[in-house]
């Protein structure tokens, strides 16, 4: 049997939803365009839905919304609803999280049904981050917004780019990540982009040599990994993180990105077309999976600091935490349901937790406008006949109970069945890929 893929492994499409951003990151083309052009607009919803449908028909199952800054769109929830309606199993918002710094903004975002938020934090302290993103006070808002999202039960992953600002504050950054305890931290390298065109950012000022800082980079990712925070280096030569080679990862070969021009490209191949290696890299154990450094980096500093590694590391990254009672099915159900799903614009709901009962059944504890609700899933092959189920799928029998009002039949009749319907519909969509309990 094929195991249910984690949401990270689902084929992904990246959708640009707006050209507008409230940061001015020096390494990002969008930041410079925003500084130069005040007439920027959002991509029309109809175009985005067409891109989502086209990508889904081609095999994409996860949609990442990026910009610009997606949260400046007041109809962002509608875009998420479109993705859910089309059938996407997972969604991501790539954001600076400044919108979530307020309670109202955090609640607004938490009600959208996002699988996870990918938050951009570009320095270990306010001075470094604010200088990198070109916005005074942004660090305080981003960190506050990140904390609020995590406190609301949202899954949060952190993205950072290895500019001078981040590298010079990496120790503080690692400690901040350990304090925040996001689900994952990804450290990327500076890509070639229009941000370094004439009259814009100075590449040598932002992009410093990595070789002299290899120990600092290694120690930071190992510190996070050792503290249980999943840390990864992406588009990064393993030889520049000696001792942390096992924490280097690569873009999935299935990822496609819709660029602002409307062009859809394979992201891994797009990156490979901008990378360079040393001739000595051919002897490296990581040669097949390493792209080397970006050509802009090679033009500045060459490739001599790239040195072949004789054998691949036998170490393994710290895996995500897993309860001892969990089965592979429990993990898959949690990956699907522990999200703030939205039944309608006026009736937000979310699954707070998925747990495996002693009987082997699974319970989903939900919350919605009418209160709490527990939805219980029994394997259809072993389900009892009493009481009658609310619904069935090919593999499950679904029942529900309102824990806080179980002894009051009159009030129990007023439970929010939209919660149960949302669970049933999601189960029918994903159950062909769910593992069996004994896998």
Give the tokens for residue 426. 């999601």
**Residue 121 confidence (pLDDT) above 70:** yes
Read off the pLDDT of residues 378-420 as tens digits, 9 standing for 90 and up: 888 876 666 678 899 999 999 887 644 444 555 444 567 888 8
Owner of token pair 């893929």: 5
- Where are the alpha helices (H) located in 237-327, listed in sequence order? 267-272, 295-301
Looking at CATH, the fold of the domain delimited by 12-301 is given as TIM Barrel (3.20.20)
Q: What is the dihedral of CA 217, 221, 224, 225, to 10 degrees?
A: -160
Lowest-pLDDT range, 237-246, 351-360, 390-399?
351-360
Domain boundaries, the chain: 12-301, 328-433
Quote the pLDDT of residue 101. 97
Buried b (16+ CB within 10 A) or exposed e, 183-218: bbbbbbbbbbbebbeeebbebeebbbebeebbeebb
pLDDT level of residue 253 (50, 70, 90 thresholds) = confident
For residue 193, is pLDDT > 90?
Answer: no
| 248 φ/ψ angles, rounded to the nearest 5 degrees | -95, 130
CA distance 162 to 213: 11
**How much is the pTM?**
0.72
């Amino acid at each position: 049997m094929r195991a249910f893929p984690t949401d990270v492994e689902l084929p992904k499409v990246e959708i640009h939803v707006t050209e507008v951003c409230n940061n001015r990151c020096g390494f990002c083309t969008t930041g410079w365009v925003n500084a130069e052009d005040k007439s920027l607009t959002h991509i029309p919803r109809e175009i985005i839905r067409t891109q989502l449908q086209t990508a889904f028909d081609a095999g994409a199952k996860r949609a990442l919304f990026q910009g610009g800054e997606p949260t400046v769109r007041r109809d962002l929830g509608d875009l998420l609803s479109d993705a859910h309606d089309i059938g996407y199993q997972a969604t991501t918002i790539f954001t600076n999280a400044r919108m979530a710094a307020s309670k109202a903004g955090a609640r607004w975002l938490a009600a959208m049904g996002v699988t996870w938020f990918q938050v951009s934090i570009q320095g270990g302290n306010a001075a470094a981050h604010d200088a990198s993103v070109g916005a005074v006070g942004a660090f305080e808002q981003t960190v506050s917004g990140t904390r609020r999202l995590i406190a609301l039960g949202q899954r949060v992953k952190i993205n950072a780019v290895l500019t001078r600002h981040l590298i010079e504050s990496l120790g503080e950054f690692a400690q901040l990540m350990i304090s925040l305890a996001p689900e994952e931290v990804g450290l990327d390298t500076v890509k070639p982009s229009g941000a370094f065109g004439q009259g814009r950012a100075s590449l040598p000022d932002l992009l410093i040599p990595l070789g002299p800082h290899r120990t600092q980079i290694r120690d930071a990712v190992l510190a996070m990994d050792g503290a249980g925070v999943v840390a990864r280096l992406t588009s990064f030569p393993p030889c520049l993180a000696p001792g942390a080679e096992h924490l280097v990862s690569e873009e999935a070969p299935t990822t496609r990105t819709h660029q602002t021009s409307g062009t859809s490209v394979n992201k891994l191949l797009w990156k490979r077309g901008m990378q360079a290696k040393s001739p000595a890299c051919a002897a490296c154990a990581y040669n097949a999976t390493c792209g080397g450094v970006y050509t802009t980096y090679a033009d500045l500093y060459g490739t001599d600091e790239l040195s072949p590694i004789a054998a691949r590391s036998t170490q393994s990254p710290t895996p995500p935490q897993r309860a001892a009672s969990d089965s592979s099915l429990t993990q898959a159900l949690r990956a699907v349901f522990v999200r703030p799903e939205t039944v309608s614009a006026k009736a937000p709901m979310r699954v707070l937790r998925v747990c495996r009962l002693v009987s082997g059944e699974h319970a989903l504890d939900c919350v919605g406008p009418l209160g709490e609700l527990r939805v219980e899933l029994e394997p259809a092959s072993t389900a009892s006949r009493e009481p009658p189920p609310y619904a069935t799928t090919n593999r499950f029998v679904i029942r529900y109970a309102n824990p806080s009002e179980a002894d009051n039949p009159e009030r129990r009749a007023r439970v929010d069945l939209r919660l149960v319907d949302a669970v049933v519909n999601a189960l029918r969509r994903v159950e062909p890929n769910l593992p069996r309990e004994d896998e």
